[in-house]
Amino acid sequence: MSNDTTGSRTGASAPRRIRTDARRNVEALLDAAKTVFGTSGVDAPAKEITDLAGVGVGTLYRHFPQRSDLIKAVIEREIDACADAAPALAAEHPPGIALARWLERLAAFVVTKRGFAAALHSGDPAFDGLSGYLMEKLGPALGSLLDAATAADEIRAVVSSQDLLYAVAKLCAPLPDEEPDYGRRMVALLVDGLRSIDTQR
């Protein structure tokens, strides 16, 4: 009887261990892909990604059979991280500062995403749902920060979360002869323009 129980305990823990290992591999691959895509582009060799992640090429293709699967997963994880930052910033800072810090983070994400532009506009159906996913995740996150800053009279109630998301995307669009930090500076100016007159004194 005790042998059966031990065997059952071992058998139950093995799948959990496998799932933990698989999750660790996926996270390592996503971290590596983000870094490699940023330096070598989204068409970088698979081995460059797997060497950095410390896994085999077979592991990469088991989790992400197509390059588009990996690109989409990297972007979705960045969107999730940006959305998750909203409540943390709200807990750490006054509403107006929390909003400004979050918009800085959003601008950094949009600027970083420039390297994905060719892939995202390639017509690959794998990317069709990304715009909707971004709005679904970032819209409520920004809305909560915007509402809190407006209620605290730190931001003038002249813009919606959707308008602000679009504005940041436009301001961070690449321009000839401008350095990558240009978009972030423009977003900072936008935030200053939204501040309540009383907070600017």
Tokens of 99: 């909003």
Cα–Cα distance for residue pair 149/48, rounded to 1 Å: 44
Degrees to nearest 5, angle at CA 133 with 127 and 136: 165
Tokens of 124: 């690959």
Tokens of 11: 């058998």
Degrees to nearest 5, angle at CA 9 with 7 and 12: 105
List the beta bridge partners of residue 155.
195
Return the pLDDT at 152.
92
135: left (phi over 0), alpha (psi -120 to 50) or beta: alpha
The residue type of 190 is L
Cα–Cα distance for residue pair 146/98, rounded to 1 Å: 9
Residuewise pLDDT in 10s, the chain (201 residues): 444 444 444 455 555 665 888 889 999 999 999 999 888 888 899 999 999 999 999 999 999 999 999 999 999 999 999 999 999 999 999 999 999 999 999 998 888 776 777 777 778 888 888 889 999 999 999 999 999 999 999 988 778 898 999 999 888 877 777 676 788 889 989 988 888 655 544
| Cβ atoms within 10 Å, residue 44 | 17
Tokens of 187: 């977003």
Tokens of 130: 């990304």
Return the pLDDT at 20.
81
Return the pLDDT at 29.
96
Cα–Cα distance for residue pair 116/39, rounded to 1 Å: 12
In degrees and rounded to multiples of 5, residue 195 shows phi and psi of -65, 145
Return the pLDDT at 63.
94
What pTM does this model have?
0.80
The residue type of 28 is A
Identify the structural domains of the chain with CATH numbers, from first to last: 1-65 (1.10.10.60), 67-201 (1.10.357.10)
